[in-house]
Amino acid sequence: IFKGYIDGTPKETDMELKLGSTIKLEAPKGSSLILVKNLYLSCDPYMRGRMRNFHGSYIPPFVPGSVIEGLGVSKVLDSDDPNFKPGDIVSGLTGWEEYSLIHKNDHLRKVESDSIPLSYYTGLLGMPGFTAYAGFFEVCGPKKGDYVFVSAASGAVGQLVGQFAKLNGCYVVGSAGSGQKVDLLKNKLGFDDAFNYKEEADLDAVLKRVFPQGIDIYFDNVGGSMLEAVLLNMRIHGRIGVCGMVSQHSLSDPKGTRNLFHLVIKRVRMQGFLQRDYLHLYPKFLEDVSGLYKQGKITYLEDMDQGLENGPSAFVGLFSGKNVGKKVICVAHE
Ligand code: NDP
């Protein structure tokens, strides 16, 4: 349950576990509701934005006292809609609870179970994977030989951006917040280089060291001081895909980003985007990325906690970098 609107970094106590509520295990007849059993729940940084009483964003705030809403993978138990039958596996918006009654909506997708783990439909083949795909290919416009930099590079989105860049003949460097993550980037995910930004006092200097030629594409997941340093190191006609600014989410007074004039000097295209603007590409994304995964050409790091009661700590950990890869909560096995 979401307790109430917050300032600053989310804490476990901003959420409450409520035991003992019961619901009838059938969807009300004639309603547009589907009864599901939740299997996997996704922890995503955008959910922090819904903990603020702000109505001007692309998604409304959570309702205090209500069940937290989030993306997940669920099994249909009952439905009046012939498109969703009992036993079907679906992905889409659901509740942080064991069973949910969810409204039919355009975003609810049937998952065709195959050799790919179901939980990956919250990550590799879900919203974060699609964000990496649309953001990198549509917004950043990669070319063979481009120098690509990715921040929060071991996370749900970043790890795939780096692998897409490598598959497209780019040189790619990632930043992450621990030695373990840096090691994974270099030795498991195929990045050409990586560094721990928490150990670097001078971000401009480290970028000059890893990109002596400068950066063609910056896939920005963090904003703030990393973006400031990147602007100084962009090449002429570079592109910046502004995917997210996780370093700024919890600041009540976000710092202004300096060095923006370098966009002009270097004629850089810096473009914010929402994955939902590219949904027409979703079928192609599923085909391309599941194909690459099955051929062993990409890998995916997942960081799973067991049990709904561990949801709050899993979510809070995103903002101190506790997650190594896509954070997901297993509520029940199929
Ligand atoms: P991650 O799985 O990467 O988890 C968040 C990570 O952010 C943490 O593990 C941590 O890694 C890093 N982080 C946390 N706080 C800070 C900080 N203060 N400074 C720098 N890094 C920090 O999340 P996702 O891959 O799901 O999301 C990445 C970004 O993409 C987010 O900004 C998110 O909001 C955005 N996004 C945007 C979408 C769109 O449509 N535009 C859709 C989906 C996501 P580390 O240890 O490296 O610090």
| Tokens describing residue 227 | 């973006």
pLDDT of residue 179: 98
pLDDT of residue 26: 76
Residue whose CA lies nearest to ligand 1 atom number 19: 247
Q: Would the pLDDT of 21 be above 80?
A: no
Cα R_g (the chain), whole angstroms:
20
Q: Given the CA of residue 175, which atom of ligand 1 is nearest to it?
A: 47
Q: Given the CA of residue 326, which atom of ligand 1 is nearest to it?
A: 2
77 CB-near residues (< 8 Å, 6+ apart): 25, 26, 27, 35, 36, 37, 86, 99
Q: Would the pLDDT of 254 be above 70?
A: no
CB-CB contact of 249 with 10 (8 Å): no
CB-CB contact of 27 with 79 (8 Å): yes
- Single-letter code of the amino acid located at 89: I
pLDDT of residue 90: 96
> Among 271, 193, 273, which residue's Cα sits nearest to residue 238?
271
Mean pLDDT of 297-319: 97
Pocket test for ligand 1, best of 246, 275, 329 (most atoms within 8 A of CB): 246
Asked whether the ipTM of the predicted complex exceeds the cut of 0.95, the reply is yes
Mean pLDDT of 186-209: 98
pLDDT band at 37 (very low <50, low <70, confident <90, very high): very high
Q: Which residues line ligand 1 (CB under 6 A)?
A: 44-46, 128, 131, 152, 155-158, 176-178, 181, 221-222, 243-247, 273-275, 318-319, 321, 323, 326-327
3-class SS of residue 91? strand
Q: Which domains does the chain have, with CATH numbers?
A: 12-123+301-330 (3.90.180.10), 127-277 (3.40.50.720)
User: Percentage of the chain with pLDDT > 70?
Assistant: 99
Residue whose CA lies nearest to ligand 1 atom number 45: 177
Q: Would the pLDDT of 274 be above 70?
A: yes
Q: Would the pLDDT of 193 be above 90?
A: yes
**How remote is the CA of residue 226 from the centroid of ligand 1, in Å?**
13
Mean pLDDT of 55-76: 94
Q: What's the rounded Cα separation, in Å, for the pair 273 and 244? A: 9
- Single-letter code of the amino acid located at 116: I
Local structure of residue 68 (DSSP, 8 states): P
pLDDT of residue 278: 96
pTM: 0.95
